[in-house]
Amino acid sequence: MSTNDVRELIVTGGGPAGYTAALYAARANLRPLVIEGVQWGGQLMITSDVENYPGYPEGVLGPVMMQEFRTQAERFGAEFLTDDVTRVDFSERPFRVYVGGEEHRAWTVIVATGANARQLGLETEIALQGRGVSYCAVCDAAFFRDKTVVIVGGGDSAMEEATFLAKFATRVIVVHRREELRASPIMIERAQQNGKIGWALNSVVERVLGEAVGHVTGVVLRDVHTNETRELEANGLFVAVGHDPNTKLFLDWLDHDTGGYLVTMPGSTRTNIEGVFAAGDVQDHVYRQAVTAAGSGCMAALDAERFLAAEHHREQSLAATKH
């Protein structure tokens, strides 16, 4: 099915970048269609208190903030499709964006599909997903009240989630594959000062235990220096080892780095295809903050608007010289 209407702009992705792009584009009368994904809102939907977004001195819940972003874009005329993009065709303009068999066309596209949590890649981890293995402490911490949990990772996410989990669990063990933690000093300090949090450094999870009973009962840890293994009893395993960009659908069309992050031209959100822009975590593996994603969403909308205006101007000049 094809919609006859060719839009000025389609935004793919409904996180801080996508909604901010939609807000700016809607206010510029571009009538954007936001194909926001079934799980709209992005990673902030699995975050609790956001304390570092300017304008919220008391902090705000991630899902609440995303709802507000969305409402603000909607107020100015952005339209939403709560579904996943399944294929794109950027071979010619108008560009084509597919949701199953449904085709949407637009003169410009902003890719803002964000990133997803990385897995450890263990068979036992996959087998016990949702049965004690989780990638979202905020979503699942409450299930582990008065229990013991293991969290893997040494970055800010792991520190933040360990601290959050400690509000529920009696014991939280942070497992990290090196001696040094990657997280920022303030996050490390907060976790280290929490009496419920213990540490298993220079260690990796080799196996998740509990398949026979259908839920996590512990993990097998391996010391990376001695290769010695030991069992640790636990009711849950939280994985906080970073993210991968949601760029699979775009890799055939758009320049990307080895990690799959889209490459944009310095100082802009332009990709290698004129009229296609990228914003937020799909093109940022360095900052990855809500505020930077929102900022680049704004940039993408301005870039798209200026691109369309320049094109319109060119067409008008051409028409004028013909007369």
Binding residues for ligand NAP, rule: CB under 6 A, are 52, 120, 152-158, 160, 177-178, 182, 204, 241-243, 288
H or E stretch at 62: helix 62-75
Q: How far is CA 305 from CA 25, 105, 205, 301, in A?
A: 7, 17, 48, 6
Q: How far is the CB of 258 from ligand NAP (least distance, A)?
A: 15
Nearer Cβ to ligand NAP (5/180): 180
- How many of the other CB atoms lie within 10 Å of CB of 193? 9
Concerning whether 5 is annotated as a catalytic residue, the answer is no
Using the Cα atoms of residue 161, residue 241, residue 117 and residue 237 in order, give the sign of their dihedral: negative
Select which of 140, 281, 284, 303 is catalytic: 140
Q: How far is the CB of 192 from ligand NAP (least distance, A)?
A: 15
Q: How far is the CB of 237 from ligand NAP (least distance, A)?
A: 12
Nearer Cβ to ligand NAP (174/300): 174
What lies within 8 Å, CB to CB, of 141 at 6+ separation is 164, 165, 167, 168, 169
Nearer Cβ to ligand NAP (32/218): 218
Select which of 89, 136, 156, 255 is catalytic: 136
Nearer Cβ to ligand NAP (116/217): 116
Rounded distance, CA 267 to CA 192, Å?
39
Nearer Cβ to ligand NAP (127/287): 287
Rounded distance, CA 67 to CA 54, Å?
17
Label residue 102 exposed, middle or buried (CB < 10 Å: 0-12, 13-18, 19+): middle
Nearer Cβ to ligand NAP (50/85): 50
Q: Contact, 46 vs 141, CB < 8 A?
A: no
Q: How far is the CB of 290 from ligand NAP (least distance, A)?
A: 10
Rounded distance, CA 90 to CA 96, Å?
6
Q: Which two tokens stand for residue 82?
A: 């709560």
Concerning whether 136 is annotated as a catalytic residue, the answer is yes
Closest-approach residue to ligand NAP (CB) = 155
- How many of the other CB atoms lie within 10 Å of CB of 308? 18
Q: How far is the CB of 55 from ligand NAP (least distance, A)?
A: 16
Nearer Cβ to ligand NAP (36/281): 281
Concerning whether 139 is annotated as a catalytic residue, the answer is yes
Q: Which two tokens stand for residue 56?
A: 């919220």
Q: Which two tokens stand for residue 62?
A: 């991630």
Q: How far is the CB of 37 from ligand NAP (least distance, A)?
A: 20
Rounded distance, CA 50 to CA 94, Å?
38
Q: How far is the CB of 286 from ligand NAP (least distance, A)?
A: 7
Catalytic positions, written as ranges: 136, 139-140
